[in-house]
Amino acid sequence: MATFHTKDISNDSFLITGGAGFIGGHIAEYLLKNGAGKVRVLDNMANGFETNLAVLKQYPAFEFIEGDIRDADTCNKACEGMNYVNHQAALGSVPRSIKEPVYFNEVNVGGFVNILKAALDNNVKQMVYASSSSVYGDEATLPKVENKVGNCLSPYAATKKTNELYAQVFANVYGIKLMGFRYFNIFGPRQDPDGAYAAVIPLFVKGIMKQTPVYINGDGEQTRDFTFIDNAVQVNIKGMLTDDADAFSKVYNVAVGESFSVNYLYNVCREYLKSDFAATYREPRAGDIRNSLADISLAKKYLGYEPTKRFEDGLKDTIDFFKKMYS
């Protein structure tokens, strides 16, 4: 992975909530590899993995707190002595949110407000947080531009939209430096291929390799701006460490600015794996948007964001990772 910052971070302390998860784990690893003074992870291990923690535990600057963001005291303890907070802890599945809206609200909204308050009370310098492209909802215009959102199509989307509202209020009322990132289909090594709500790319790769059923929802012609994990790490690092006052109190699209259909994705996976294993098509999924493509000019302008790895290169790295895992 490239280096995304020039600032000396050897005296800085960072809290990564959800740091045992996919995106949070990669952010924590980047900071530790690049000499951060302290990297503390808060995770309740509901979506976190011991394998991700094992990567981080080899660094002496790493600290782990097992705890839940729904508990205000835990959040306060986690923010003590931290210069920067990076909030990735959340429940992430659209279909699961439709089944469990109350749970999603407790974690994604209640937990988020707890972290905001704890960051404020502990005089954290800057905080960034994960939002989602799902906030665009039924707004059909492509590419997606940050100031043009539609109606939410799922409880998950509503929780992320609410995060953005709370962040704006905390910035306006308390003066805390905040920014959010609307992720577009982040993928990469160490993403969970198991469980009922696993992400599409690890599911495809695992299914093709193990010859177990692979499902495509709808006709497969829905498009996504698939974004390799390095790009998500880059924007988080640049966002946390920026000195540009104009960069705060905004939400940014985090994507590549290119879109591909799910059918195309599946066929590329098959090509890389030298397989003719066929997918099974089924009903479209409730709450899913049809097409997704991001305008990333805002992040380029204020954060100097520039995607370093595009879809097919990132997909090759991801498939190589899972090939080792399953070989």
Contact by Cβ (8 Å): 113, 265:
no
Taking Cα atoms as reference points, which of 315, 280, 263 lies closest to residue 207?
Answer: 280
199 in a structural domain: no
314 in a structural domain: no
* pTM, entire model: 0.96
Taking Cα atoms as reference points, which of 18, 20, 9, 14 lies closest to residue 55?
Answer: 20
Catalytic one of 156, 183, 252, 305 = 156
Cis check: omega of the bond before 101, within 30 degrees of 0? no
Q: How many domains does the chain have?
A: 1
Taking Cα atoms as reference points, which of 301, 300, 303 lies closest to residue 256?
Answer: 300
Total residue count of the chain as it appears in this document: 327
In this prediction, what percent of the chain has a pLDDT beyond 90? Answer: 90
- The mean pLDDT of 169-183, rounded to a whole number, is 98
Residue range(s) defining the domain that contains residue 79: 13-187+225-257
Res 198 pLDDT > 80: no
291 in a structural domain: no
Taking Cα atoms as reference points, which of 192, 181, 173 lies closest to residue 47?
Answer: 192
141 in a structural domain: yes
∠ CA 10-111-129, rounded to 5°: 45
Q: Write down the pLDDT at residue 178.
A: 98
Res 46 pLDDT > 80: yes
The amino acid present at 235, given as its one-letter code, is V
For residue 91, the domain's CATH number is 3.40.50.720
320 in a structural domain: no
Q: Write down the pLDDT at residue 194.
A: 83
Could you read off the pLDDT of 92-151 as tens digits, one per residue?
Answer: 999 999 999 999 999 999 999 999 999 999 999 999 999 999 999 999 999 999 999 999
Q: What are phi and psi of 322, to 5 degrees?
A: -70, -30
Query: Per residue in 38-54, is it b (16+ CB within 10 Å) or e — as a string?
Result: bbbbbbbeebbbeebbe
Q: Write down the pLDDT at residue 193.
A: 84
288 in a structural domain: no
Between 123 and 199, the more confident residue is 123
DSSP per-residue codes, 124-141: -SEEEEEEEGGGGTT---
195 in a structural domain: no
Query: Per residue in 119-154, is it b (16+ CB within 10 Å) or e — as a string?
Result: bbebebebbbbbbbbbbbbeeeeebbebeebeebbb
Q: Write down the pLDDT at residue 288.
A: 80
- The mean pLDDT of 235-261, rounded to a whole number, is 98
Active site residue 156: yes
Res 8 pLDDT > 90: yes
325 in a structural domain: no
Res 195 pLDDT > 90: no
78-82, 115-119, 281-285, range with the lowest pLDDT: 281-285
